């Protein structure tokens, strides 16, 4: 029995700005292109991406996307310093506010995907 029956990605996009929806659609396209092992799952509060384990989660707000990633702190690279660390799991998060930030966001999420393998 699945606990996320009825939760769909489209539900998370309701009430968001058109720009935020475009950003998310491009993120989704690029994340799912990482590999055939990538699965997307919507829950009540977020959209999860997993391979062997969850490597990224997104919460879509009206004006931005909050992304959580699970990375190896010893090898993780964030030259712009936008990722914040939490004390619990998943320990790293950042915000995506515009299409201009998309390439950098994908580079961070790709590191999480590689770590999950």
Find out whether 94 and 58 touch, Cβ atoms under 8 Å: no
Q: What is the mean pLDDT of each run of 10 residues along the chain (117 residues)?
A: 54 73 93 96 90 93 91 93 81 94 97 93
Q: How far apart are CA 113 and CA 15, in angstroms?
A: 29
pLDDT, residue 65, reads 94
- pLDDT the model gives residue 30: 97
Q: Check: pTM over 0.75? Answer yes or no.
A: yes
DSSP string, 67-81: EEE---TTT---TT-
């Amino acid at each position: 029995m699945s606990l996320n029956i009825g939760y769909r990605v489209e539900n998370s996009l309701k009430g968001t700005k058109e720009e935020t929806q475009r950003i998310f659609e491009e993120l989704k396209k690029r994340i799912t292109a990482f590999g055939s092992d990538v699965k997307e799952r919507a829950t009540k509060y977020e959209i999860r991406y997993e391979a062997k384990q969850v490597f990224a989660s997104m919460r879509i707000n009206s004006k931005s996307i909050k992304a959580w990633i699970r990375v190896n702190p010893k090898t993780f690279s964030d030259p712009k310093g936008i990722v914040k660390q939490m004390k619990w799991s998943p320990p790293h998060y950042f915000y995506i506010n515009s299409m201009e930030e998309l390439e950098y966001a994908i580079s961070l999420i790709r590191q999480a995907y590689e770590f999950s393998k």
